[in-house]
Structure 1
Amino acid sequence: MRVNWLLAGVAAIAAVGLVWTPYDPLAQDFRELRLAGFGAAHWLGVDGLGRDVLSRLWRGLGNTAGLSLLALGLNFVVAAAMLTVEETTGRIGRTFVPLVASVWLGLPVIFLSLILLVFLPPGGATLVLAVALGNASISYRQLRISWREQIRAPYVEASETMGASGWGFFRRTLWPNLAPDVVALARLIFALCALELSGLAFLGLIGDPDFPELGAMLRQNQAYLTNAPWLLLLPGSLLSGLLLVVHLSGHRVAQD
């Protein structure tokens, strides 16, 4: 049995954090309790600006997961478009698209994000675009390998001989065999997007310094490393936990 229920549970918790948290994660309502530790009213304490840490972590998890999911979707759209162009434009596409992908692969995400920030304002949308485009060549290359393996498989030749074609052929014959590879790739790209997006936010490229995102929270709280280390350990552990859950969702667990 796959442990996808764990990933679904984390996704549900993150989604709730986008619309509801115990306190306003942006409001500095508890300045008299600055750097207070764990307690009944504030389970994970209060940060250095008087904000409830649990509320900020919960919203931060939702923002990190949500932005990473958007980046994953855009990434797959770009990668699929590249593969479609290659497959439908003959020799020119088969020569030009892989060449572009190879050059693209050498562009670091941080460099791409800095280029985008010349033309776009700092913010979550810009970082989503940067990490989506930065990993598009990886997705394209992996999708290309899976696609080529499937269309050359004997079952495809047999189906085409029997007259199968079009969308129905893809949905009933190709997709069931492609799906495991696509899902595995989606897990990898989501994890890369989450890690890179949080890294860019940690560098301050998210724009709003108070935006509750896990990487941005690490940057905001680094000044409290010595006197309130939990303010860094908690968002770092939550980001690591998110990546671990994504990894575990692709593994089987033993059944009695």
Structure 2
Amino acid sequence: MDAMAERAEGARWNTLDLVTALWVAWALAGLFWTPHDPNAQTALDRLREGPSWAHPLGVDALGRDLASRVWRGSGNTVWFGAAAAAGTLVLASALLVMEQRGPRFARGFVSPIVSAGLAMPVLFVGLLLLVFLRPAPWTLVVACALGGVPFGFRQLRVVWLEQAGALYATASRALGAGPWHVVCFTIWPNARGQVVSVAKLLFAVSVLELSGLTFLGLAGDPDFPELGAILRQNQSELFREPMLVLWPGVFLSGLLLLVHLSNVRSR
């Protein structure tokens, strides 16, 4: 009975992983094709119209197909969120290497950098960057990547300390393995699942922060199709046509929920 229960649980989680992968693939496909131009006002005679065969999610207040905007917005959210998470992971890994293997004088800078970063929310980092850079989605990606470094560093440091102090790592060193051999062939195979889990967590955090910044109108282009920006664009329609706000919120929440459940499964 236990074996059957384990197989059923495994099948359930495999289905969840497949659904998550399909959701992400569907979102990214929206970067290359949508039924209508997401920014084209091609339905001016159907303003705020509900779902129809031509417009499955309806038409917004400017005559744009909502399904196309949500699809393209989902793709932009996934793409920019993944880029921000990747930037955070690279920078956090570099700080960890500096702390663990860097010169003695450089190690002393890591803790103050992380402590200072923890005191600066992503919103502040974004506003600071906008003083020097023009408002654009990639500026917000840089802000999310930099703002997430302290959190990412602390997560990776916990994984490293746990794995580096494990008995198999100690045994490898006792047998004469060099530092890089221990990292590549002893620690990494055992830490890979935890690092993937951290990467998923950073992706979810980056998506949420990026959508928050675009909701505040910091992306520069007021018509930029991204889920947070679409929520802001339709905010004034909340009581007149709530579905214009509901749909982008559902897709954003659904993405975060799937990533969270997938992350729980991988731990």
Equivalent residue number for residue 210 of structure 1:
223
> 1:180: Cα distance to partner?
2.1
Match of 2:163 among 150, 160, 165: 150
Counterparts of residues 106-125 of structure 1 (less than 5 Å): 106-125=119-138
> 1:66: Cα distance to partner?
0.5
2-side partners of 1:191 and 1:18: how far apart?
A: 20
Counterparts of residues 50-65 of structure 1 (less than 5 Å): 50-65=63-78
Equivalent residue number for residue 230 of structure 1:
243
1-side partners of 2:71 and 2:77: how far apart?
A: 10
Moved more, 193-202 or 83-92: 83-92
Q: Is the 8 A contact 1:64 1:194 kept in 2?
A: yes
Identity of aligned residues (%): 50
Task: Name the aligned partner's letter for residue 204 of structure 1.
Answer: G
Equivalent residue number for residue 159 of structure 1:
172
Partner secondary structure for residue 31 of structure 2 = helix
2-side partners of 1:165 and 1:4: how far apart?
A: 37
Equivalent residue number for residue 41 of structure 1:
54
> 1:252: Cα distance to partner?
4.1
1-side partners of 2:221 and 2:103: how far apart?
A: 46
Which blocks of at least 5 consecutive residues in structure 2 are unaligned?
A: 1-9
Which blocks of at least 5 consecutive residues in structure 1 are unaligned?
A: none
Equivalent residue number for residue 262 of structure 2:
249
> 1:90: Cα distance to partner?
4.4
Match of 2:208 among 195, 199, 213: 195
- Match status 1:17 vs 2:42: no
Equivalent residue number for residue 86 of structure 2:
73
2-side partners of 1:212 and 1:15: how far apart?
A: 13
2-side partners of 1:88 and 1:41: how far apart?
A: 59
CA deviations 1:165-222 (Å, max 9, x no partner) are 3555433321121112212211221111111110110110011011100000011001
Equivalent residue number for residue 221 of structure 1:
234
> 1:251: Cα distance to partner?
3.6
- Give the structure-2-normalised TM-score: 0.90
Partner secondary structure for residue 246 of structure 1 = helix
Task: Name the aligned partner's letter for residue 214 of structure 2.
Answer: A
Q: Which contiguous aligned blocks of 4+ residues in structure 1 show a shift greater than 6 angstroms? A: none
1-side partners of 2:181 and 2:172: how far apart?
A: 11
Task: Name the aligned partner's letter for residue 125 of structure 1.
Answer: W
Q: Is the 8 A contact 1:199 1:215 kept in 2?
A: yes
Q: How many residue pairs align between the two structures?
A: 253
Q: Is the 8 A contact 2:169 2:182 kept in 1?
A: no
Q: Is the 8 A contact 2:201 2:263 kept in 1?
A: no
Equivalent residue number for residue 191 of structure 2:
178
> 1:148: Cα distance to partner?
1.5
Provide the alpha-carbon RMSD of the alignment: 1.5
1-side partners of 2:32 and 2:67: how far apart?
A: 14
Equivalent residue number for residue 97 of structure 1:
110
Q: Is the 8 A contact 1:6 1:249 kept in 2?
A: no
- Give the structure-1-normalised TM-score: 0.94
1-side partners of 2:224 and 2:43: how far apart?
A: 18
Q: Is the 8 A contact 2:58 2:66 kept in 1?
A: yes
> 1:134: Cα distance to partner?
0.3
Q: Is the 8 A contact 1:4 1:250 kept in 2?
A: no
2-side partners of 1:214 and 1:84: how far apart?
A: 35
Equivalent residue number for residue 139 of structure 1:
152
Greater relative CO (CA pairs within 8 A, separation 6+): 1
